[in-house]
Chain A
């Protein structure tokens, strides 16, 4: 693939009207009022943030790591980071998008610390866990053997480590959380065209990384 193609700008497919429609003012929403209370060190407001997003954070972590034992520990770390960093929250994106990014970064920090990404699942994810997951998740394709799925998950986690934190969060919000380009534009404060460009470049980087990985193995 020609690398120069990736640097070409996308045509302006989104008009001003669309941009205005997708732009969300994160400074005046009900969520913004809650964030301002947390920034003013209102503990009840922070409790509300934790209770509102804890399930989401847990499921993001478990989705990436498939490790129940560490999921709570990482979730605690995520909310501790939220507590200490919320004064820097600038209302350009939604609170959930911001927390999502912190959560994904924490998962990758965890994987980096392990330094044995290939063995994470072999050591922490038992056959029992695999069977339990299959039983509880109707979306899981049981025709594919568990070890093949684990290898595929390992591969995609490796590939996602090759792109930036922003690109990783964006592609996960799109594919894992199922948000549309328009929703992503509203959540991140970027316009739809920028989202499309970022998604396309991320997909190309992932393809190139997969190609390199195949050549080296």
Chain B
């Protein structure tokens, strides 16, 4: 928009005693004319937001009492209201709870594995390999598998020996 119009835009929009220079400029400048028309249309639309004249007559009595009830119910605004009332605050609270839960799970599980290791060290029935199993993950599994295959083999031998004994009788 050109200066001739911009400097007097409120007068131009009001449509009152517009300056001669502004009127002449509007008559020959398409750009300014179209912008002024757009602003006038918006002005009319904004004026649609006026309430009817008699609207206030519909007010229910004792409005002040209801305002005071609300004030007493709400109490002074505290920093906690930001967390409770806003969506962002609620998200932060949920994220914090989830994080606390994760930390809790991690702490509990790591404590449990430490306890298992301690029990394994104290137990006389366990072999040295099994004690290592409780303390260290990777080699432990291999040793356990070896132990298990050895146990399976010896129990199979025992069953075969029993069958042989049975047939001999």
Contact = CB atoms under 8 A, between A and B. Distances in A.
Contacts of A157: 49
Interface stretch (B53-61, B115-123, B135-143, B152-160): B53-61
Contact of A72 (B43, B47, B60): B60
A53 to B, nearest CB: 11
A106 to B, nearest CB: 13
A72 B45 contact: no
Contact of A80 (B42, B52, B67): B67
Taking chain A's interface residues, is the majority helix, strand, or loop, or is none over half, making it mixed?
helix
A153 interface: yes
Interface string A147-162: 0010011011101100
A50 B35 contact: no
Interface residues of A, number: 53
Nearest to B63: A54
A176 interface: yes
A83 to B, nearest CB: 5
Interface in A18-74: 47, 50-51, 54-56, 58-60, 62-64, 68, 72
Given A10-B6, A13-B7, A77-B70, A63 B49 contact: yes
Interface of A: 1, 5, 10-11, 13, 47, 50-51, 54-56, 58-60, 62-64, 68, 72, 75-77, 79-80, 83-84, 133, 136-140, 149, 152-153, 155-157, 159-160, 171-172, 175-176, 181, 196, 199-200, 203-204, 206-207, 210
Interface of B: 1, 6-7, 9-10, 31, 35, 38-39, 42-43, 45-56, 58-60, 63-64, 66-67, 70-71, 74, 76-77
